[in-house]
Structure 1
């Protein structure tokens, strides 16, 4: 007898697979930012952060290994979830994202890697963020997506590079259709970066 999995269960299962992939890559500790890493996966008809699964407490570093701080659950991410939801207005196939550390050495690795794969890099220049949005996290997401699309000629990219801003750490975000794809890209970047060190 076939057992059919609900869409919600499928999202959780795929996201758990992606988290296992991330946790299995020791080199990824080099890419975990101060705010920690999270990976999200939206339901096909997602409209709020409650429809987006993520790691509760994010992915941190334990004993020099990447480690999920808590379980995967819906509603565990706010900012990254809202970023994906806003991007989906322009590219509904984008359902997953993962954030990671930004520095000049990582930037060079990411740019070379993206070029080799034909991936676009969208830019968010936080120094251009309107003053009325500073410190208002929920208000900044539409502006950030607008910046990304302006930098790519209206096309949702596979990579987003976000510069530092008022109280904000610079960051990379990988985008894709599902979390195992996004996690594998992150693992690839981590291994290339580790080899270049």
Structure 2
């Protein structure tokens, strides 16, 4: 599904489910179908449908205790004749607002509009947000990079056994939660690149470490991808004037060691690699300003590498 406004979810899911559940609650209190229809502003035929189980009920809404509590308050108020339509509207609007703030409406919206995936969007509650816009651009950049990677015919030969990934940080990253990457990593299957899902924040480990270490020394470095260390790739990088830098493969204190090495050099090389160790596969990282630029370099190196 493409564009879907939260108001459509309210209209097509919340209100029909609310009417169905409220009608059922009033009928259980002994109301006639005609009285229920008049109270809810629907036809008696609609109430008959609710009573026979034909009403719309979205369990993602009814599973939330707040929904049932609101229905019970409305039904009790109408039944006791101490709740008017204005007060009922206030109750319903409060429920909708609470459901839009990381609640069921938000969950339905994210499930049915893939463009929101991984954003932690709260635009319904707090309006347009520059940080959300930056996150959207970061996720979109990683998606474009993953598509380029998937379309490449040369890079599959250099995907590590542990899989590859491409990550990009939001501005001023402080930890792995600020890095968007592909959950589950990217693998080569029979010479083809398989991208398992859309990018999310906080799902990478080694790529995030590399980005964070590099970014502390050079804030323009926001992205990285990992490939299998291969002399053909390294030679192609050198031929293109890209500085290469070897580091120790050990995981212990890797981020600190890399940061210290970059600080000593006063620059961050665009190609950083290790030769592996016991139980650690040799890995090369390509660094850059964006996920797209990193993958463009990686594909170019892969193409040159397979040609030799």
TM-score by length of 2: 0.54
Aligned to 2:178: 51
**190, 199, 203: which is aligned to 1:76?**
203
Offset at residue 139 of structure 1 (A): 3.0
Aligned to 2:160: 33
Aligned to 2:236: 113
Q: Distance in 2 between matches of 1:190 and 1:110?
A: 6
Aligned to 1:65: 192
**Contact 1:84 1:97 (8 Å CA) reproduced:** yes
Matched, 1:7 2:134: yes
What is the total number of aligned residue pairs between the two structures?
179
Q: Distance in 2 between matches of 1:138 and 1:78?
A: 13
Offset at residue 147 of structure 1 (A): 4.0
Distance verdict in 2 for CA 1:168–1:146, change over 3 Å: farther
SS, match of residue 154 in structure 2: helix
Distance verdict in 2 for CA 1:149–1:36, change over 3 Å: farther
Structure number having the greater strand percentage: 1
- Structure showing greater radius of gyration is 2
Offset at residue 122 of structure 1 (A): 1.2
**142, 146, 153: which is aligned to 2:260?**
146
TM-score by length of 1: 0.83
Task: Give the root-mean-square deviation of aligned CA atoms.
Answer: 2.0
Q: Distance in 2 between matches of 1:16 and 1:182?
A: 13
User: Please, which runs of 5 or more residues in structure 1 have no aligned partner?
Assistant: 130-136
Offset at residue 170 of structure 1 (A): 0.8
Further displaced range: 69-78 or 34-43? 69-78
Q: Distance in 1 between matches of 2:276 and 2:190?
A: 28
Offset at residue 165 of structure 1 (A): 1.9
**208, 212, 218: which is aligned to 1:91?**
218
User: Please, which runs of 5 or more residues in structure 2 have no aligned partner?
Assistant: 1-127
Aligned to 2:289: 177
